[in-house]
């Protein structure tokens, strides 16, 4: 905001003393209500305002404290921002940035805990990213505020407490470039957002059992780093996809399709998807624990994929018989 006077931060509670989980307070302290604007509960209307402002050269950064509220803004996002460049012959764009926060926890329930990356990723004309680390949260936000394309950043509330190094300077991370979070030769786990950390925990646990799990953090859902995913699967021959949203018609299905279309000859076992069950999220601590995938469910899927491979089955029998997740 210091470097670009056109950036305007807006959302419900961005000027509150809590600063949307601590992410907007410093901006309000520095720039005040002229550029950090609290808005009413009118997501659809303000999406249109933000898209219009973006088309006129401003850089609106809109914060949704629950990404579920973005359902009300989808006309502006899908029918205006995403299609702007296509409808007007590439003679302009509406590079609005939308932050949507998702998270679990007692009381979130069916309408306040939905991961929408698959929905947003379906539409051409949008970039969609899911940062899993402090450095990626900063780098992807910097990239979003410099892009000529509208961007949706989906942030998991459970990651705000994670500490890590980030560049002092405003260095952008390119969209469509994933990273290898853990290296391994036996199974590839492709994950996004919170599931990257669960996959890392599973990888660390299985390494002590002699199983090398390679974890791919996609960073962005659209564009997707298909080359990195396929190179990893070509090496390991096995794929598990871990996601915080449902399996059907989703991100995990897309990753499976990319692998099937490009490196199917390398697969030694069926693809496994680790996702929540096909029902809305419950409001109950015990039911939530059963509903959401975690490191143990990722680890079990890796073991099962290895067991399904005839060449690996003898080696895996002992692991499968006594495998008890350490979580």
Q: How many CA atoms lie within 13 A of 186 on its CB side?
A: 23
Buried b (16+ CB within 10 A) or exposed e, 116-150: bbbbbbbbebbbbbbbbbebbbbbbbbbbbebebb
Helices (H), the chain: 19-22, 25-35, 43-55, 74, 84-87, 117-121, 134-146, 194-207, 226-236, 251-262, 285-291, 295-308, 313-322
> What is the CATH code for 179-321?
3.40.50.920
- pLDDT over 50 at 327, yes or no: no
Which is it for strands 179-182 and 213-217: parallel, antiparallel or unpaired?
Answer: antiparallel
Please give the pLDDT value at position 318.
55
Determine how many CB atoms are found less than 10 A away from the CB of residue 8: 19
For 41-92, the pLDDT digits (tens) are 999 999 999 999 999 999 999 999 999 999 999 999 999 999 999 999 998 8
The answer to whether the CB of 157 falls within 8 A of the CB of 103 is yes
Residues 221-270 have pLDDT tens digits of: 999 999 999 999 999 999 999 999 999 999 999 999 999 999 999 999 99
Give the mean pLDDT of the chain.
Answer: 93
Q: Hey, which residues are catalytic here?
A: 43, 112
Distance CA 101, CA 116 (A): 10
Higher pLDDT, 319 or 31: 31
Distance CA 147, CA 149 (A): 5
Share of the chain above pLDDT 70, in %: 94
Question: Looking at per-residue confidence, does 107 or 156 come out higher?
Answer: 156
From residue 263, give the alpha-carbon distance in Å to each of 40, 136, 193, 240, 306.
49, 28, 25, 14, 18
Cross-strand pairs, 189: 215, 240
Q: Give the model's pLDDT for residue 103.
A: 86
Reported as a pLDDT band with limits 50, 70 and 90, residue 214 is: very high
pLDDT per position as a tens digit, 135-154: 999 999 999 999 999 999 99
Q: Say yes or no to pLDDT of 99 above 70.
A: yes
Residues of CATH 3.40.50.920 domain(s) within the chain?
179-321
Q: Under CATH, what is the fold of the domain 7-159?
A: Rossmann fold (3.40.50)
CA distance 153 to 120: 10
Domain with CATH 3.40.50.970 in the chain: 7-159
């Amino acid at each position: 905001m210091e470097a670009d006077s056109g950036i305007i931060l807006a959302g419900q509670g961005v000027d509150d003393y809590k600063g949307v989980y601590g992410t907007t307070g410093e901006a309000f302290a520095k720039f005040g209500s002229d550029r950090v604007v609290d808005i009413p509960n009118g997501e659809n209307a303000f999406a249109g305002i933000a898209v219009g402002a973006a088309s006129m050269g401003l850089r609106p950064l809109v914060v949704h404290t629950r990404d579920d509220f973005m359902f009300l803004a989808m006309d502006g996002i899908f029918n205006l921002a995403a299609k702007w460049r296509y409808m007007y012959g590439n003679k302009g764009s509406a590079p609005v940035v939308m932050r949507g926060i998702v998270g679990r926890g007692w009381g979130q329930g069916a309408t306040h805990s939905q991961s929408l990356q698959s929905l947003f990723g379906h539409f051409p004309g949008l970039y969609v990213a899911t940062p899993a680390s402090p450095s990626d949260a900063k780098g992807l936000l910097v990239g979003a505020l410099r892009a000529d394309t509208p961007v949706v950043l989906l942030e998991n509330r459970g990651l705000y407490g994670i500490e890590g190094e980030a560049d002092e300077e405003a260095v952008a991370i390119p969209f469509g470039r994933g990273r290898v979070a853990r290296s391994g030769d036996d199974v590839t786990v492709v994950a996004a957002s919170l599931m990257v950390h669960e996959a890392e925990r599973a990888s660390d646990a299985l390494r002590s059992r002699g199983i090398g799990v390679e974890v791919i953090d996609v960073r962005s859902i659209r564009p997707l780093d298909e080359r990195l995913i396929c190179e990893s699967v070509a090496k390991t021959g096995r794929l598990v996809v871990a996601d915080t949203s449902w399996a059907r018609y989703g991100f995990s299905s897309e990753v499976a399709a990319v692998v099937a279309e490009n490196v199917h000859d390398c697969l030694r076992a069926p693809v496994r998807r680790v996702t929540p069950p096909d029902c809305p999220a419950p409001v109950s601590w015990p039911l939530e624990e059963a509903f959401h995938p975690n490191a143990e469910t990722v680890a079990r899927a890796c073991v099962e994929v290895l067991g399904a491979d005839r060449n690996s089955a003898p080696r895996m029998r002992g692991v499968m018989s006594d495998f008890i997740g350490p979580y």
